[in-house]
Amino acid sequence: MPSEIFHTNFTGIDWAIVVVYLLGSVAIGVYANRYIGNITDFIVAGRGIKVFLAVATMTGTELGLVTVMYNAEQGFKSGFAAYHIGVFWGLGMLTVGLTGFMIYRLRALQVMTIPEYYEQRFGRTTRVLGGTILALAGILNMGLFLQAGSQFVTTVLGLGPGLGLKLVMTSMLVLVLIYTTLGGMVSVVITDLIQFCVLGLGICVATGVAVWAVGWDRMVNTVEAHYGLKGFDPMQAQHYGWQYLVWMLFMGVAAGALWQTATLRALSAKSPAVAKKLYSWSSISFLARVVLPMTWGIAALAYISSKPALSTAFFPAQGEGLAAIYAMPLLFAQVLPSGLLGILTAGMLAAFMSTHDSYLLAWSAVITQDIIAPLRRRPLTDRQRIFFTRAFIVIIGLFLLVWGLWYQAPTSLWNYMAVTGTVYLAGAFTCVAFGLYWKRASRFGAIMALEAGLFSLMGVVPPLLGFKNWEEAGVSWLTDQNIAIMTIGLSLAGMVLGSLLVPDSMPREQRVAAWSGVHAAGAAAVFGTLIILKFGWFGLWHAVLIVTIAVFVGLVVVCGVMGWVDLGSLFRQLSEDRTVEPDEITPEHWRELQEEEGPDDESE
């Protein structure tokens, strides 16, 4: 890649600004550790957060560097049509805040995680299952956070892709792990407040600079030249359509109310009323966190289109160009003057850290509180809970490093985020909403709803099978939005049908039989579908033959061996119970027979 493409204005002044900020972040983690007295302090900051601090910390978490990166990518690839995502998310948060939908009752129940509510309403099994799915979806969801953040840093530093990306990813992860494991939610709240102040102002200044440097008219004209009407109308846009709009509307409400990192703020709020106000005020930041970075992406599109070398790098005549994720960092690296670039970079690192600390804390807390603790016979002490939570923070961090170095999103970073989020949100929204507002919701229905959310993993599967996306695999209709719509529909159907057909009043044996049958059929359908997509119908029938031979051989071996054991048992029983002739009956045998039959009935 030519060096002029990754030219940057980053100088020693910018380095000084960034280093001072990073050292301050570590100091915050050490300082916050003195305020950790128990697990409630560690996870929900003692439930003492008031409305304005809650708004600032939620904004600090949800306005992360990865958020800026994937929204800028959407603006670059789809133009102004991408704004609808921000509008829907803002409306979703406002709806939750004004009505208190789900979140008011959850805060009143004083739960620390969503799966904790599952146990209160549907039992411990549902909690463990829900916690497992939440942790799986959440960890996968943040799987590319580290990669996206490092792409920003390496681009601003002028390093570009390569070894520098790996080194930056490792360094940034170590820094986040240090102060998150030390301070828990208290350090999260402090760093989020600082990030809100630094980046809140910085993002507005950066938007103004981007629009001023490129020109609003050029931005509009460039979008029109590249995408035509599709760059303005989401119904006609190549990557959107009505299914996508429905998906985003659902995500705006469901993620706003139930995504653990955001919900953790509401559950940390001083009261249910404060939780409602938190969501109402945060609707503004949720709108801004999407629309403003998308504007950066559009400005980057106009800037790159005006530079022949950059335009060739991103839009080559043949082959694949430079990934759209690099466009926005390149814009700021070459447009912002030294000093201001350092402040923006420090703010972006603040955004990176505030998101990572909240997510690491949220998912490690879910594993400890909702998987480990319910499965143990002896209750965990607060000290043990904090230890497990800190240990899982480190384990998750190591997974993120490996996953971020290896995995590449099939379509866009935002779609990857939305698909992995739907794994949890489809079932969680259904379980919480129906559990709170429908008395007939049953345990079986909740389990079906949660497990139906796993269908959304189909959006993550293509790279694991060796394909870039499902279209390359020959299944063009299996788009991210169609996968999401089907997942939501399956979750709703699972809850309603499962609750009506298998109510909690049904005997346990029948519920277990229904559970086994449904899961056996579901597993067969999933594996059969994956085999067809990877190897075709011949691959399916090949697999059927292999499975048939395997299970039949197993049946023959088990029944052959155990059959002889049963035959020996039958002979022993016949030997013991054989009929004795009357003249061979001894007094002892007669007494045994009388004891078995009971006393004679004299009335007869």
Delimiting residues of CATH 1.20.1730.10 domain(s) in the chain: 3-316+326-405
Flag the least confident range among 17-31, 451-465, 481-495, 583-597.
Answer: 583-597
Structural tokens at position 373: 């603790």
What is the average per-residue pLDDT within 186-202? Answer: 69
- Higher-pLDDT residue of 216 and 528 is 216
What is the average per-residue pLDDT within 256-279? Answer: 79
Spatial neighbors of 187 by CB under 8 A, at least 6 apart, are 28, 29, 31, 32, 33, 179, 180, 357
Give the residue among 307, 371, 401 at the shortest CA–CA distance from 7: 307
What is the average per-residue pLDDT within 209-215? Answer: 91
What is the average per-residue pLDDT within 557-567? Answer: 85
How far is residue 222's CA from residue 306's CA, in Å, rounded to a whole number?
Answer: 9
What is the average per-residue pLDDT within 65-80? Answer: 92
185 pLDDT more than 60: no
Vertex 376: Cα angle to 455 and 383 (nearest 5): 105
Mean pLDDT rounded to a whole number for the chain: 81
Flag the least confident range among 272-276, 379-383, 430-434, 509-513.
Answer: 509-513
Sequence-ordered alpha helix ranges (H) in 228-271: 242-258, 260-267
What is the average per-residue pLDDT within 576-593? Answer: 58
Structure confidence by residue, pLDDT tens digits, 479-495: 889 999 999 999 999 99
- The CATH H-level (homologous superfamily) assignment of domain 3-316+326-405 is Sodium/glucose cotransporter (1.20.1730.10)
3 pLDDT more than 60: no
Per the document, the length of the chain is 604
How far is residue 408's CA from residue 463's CA, in Å, rounded to a whole number?
Answer: 7
299 pLDDT more than 90: yes
Flag the least confident range among 307-316, 404-413, 584-593.
Answer: 584-593
Which three-class secondary structure state does DSSP give residue 412? coil
- Say what the alpha-carbon torsion angle 424, 425, 430, 432 is, to the nearest 10 degrees: 90
466 pLDDT more than 80: no
- Higher-pLDDT residue of 357 and 90 is 90
AA letter at 564 = W
Instruction: Assign 113 a pLDDT band (cuts: 50, 70, 90).
Output: confident
Flag the least confident range among 140-149, 260-269, 301-310.
Answer: 260-269
How far is residue 421's CA from residue 432's CA, in Å, rounded to a whole number?
Answer: 16
Strand-pairing partners, residue 505, are none
Give the residue among 132, 403, 421 at the shortest CA–CA distance from 250: 421
Instruction: Assign 420 a pLDDT band (cuts: 50, 70, 90).
Output: very high
Instruction: Return the pLDDT at 32.
Output: 55
- Within 13 Å of residue 214, how many CA atoms lie on the same side as its CB? 31
Structural tokens at position 525: 């359908």
Instruction: Return the pLDDT at 45.
Output: 43
Instruction: Return the pLDDT at 181.
Output: 63
Tell me, letter by letter, the H, E, C secondary structure of 337-353. Answer: CCCHHHHHHHHHHHHHH
Give the residue among 446, 424, 447 at the shortest CA–CA distance from 433: 446
Instruction: Return the pLDDT at 354.
Output: 67
How far is residue 293's CA from residue 152's CA, in Å, rounded to a whole number?
Answer: 13
Buried b (16+ CB within 10 A) or exposed e, 529-564: ebbbbeeeeeebeeeeeeeeeeeeeeeeeeeeeeee
Instruction: Return the pLDDT at 276.
Output: 86
Instruction: Assign 30 a pLDDT band (cuts: 50, 70, 90).
Output: low
Residue the block writes with tokens 């971020």 = 404
* Pair 482, 243: CB distance under 8 Å: yes
438 pLDDT more than 90: yes
What is the average per-residue pLDDT within 445-471? Answer: 85
How far is residue 316's CA from residue 313's CA, in Å, rounded to a whole number?
Answer: 6
For residue 162, the tally of other CB atoms under 10 A from its CB is 10
What is the average per-residue pLDDT within 403-431? Answer: 87
pLDDT above 70 covers what percent of the chain?
Answer: 84
- DSSP label at residue 370: I
- DSSP label at residue 369: I
How far is residue 502's CA from residue 12's CA, in Å, rounded to a whole number?
Answer: 67
Structural tokens at position 361: 């804390």
Strand-pairing partners, residue 49, are 269
Instruction: Assign 20 a pLDDT band (cuts: 50, 70, 90).
Output: confident
* Pair 105, 436: CB distance under 8 Å: yes
Instruction: Return the pLDDT at 602.
Output: 47
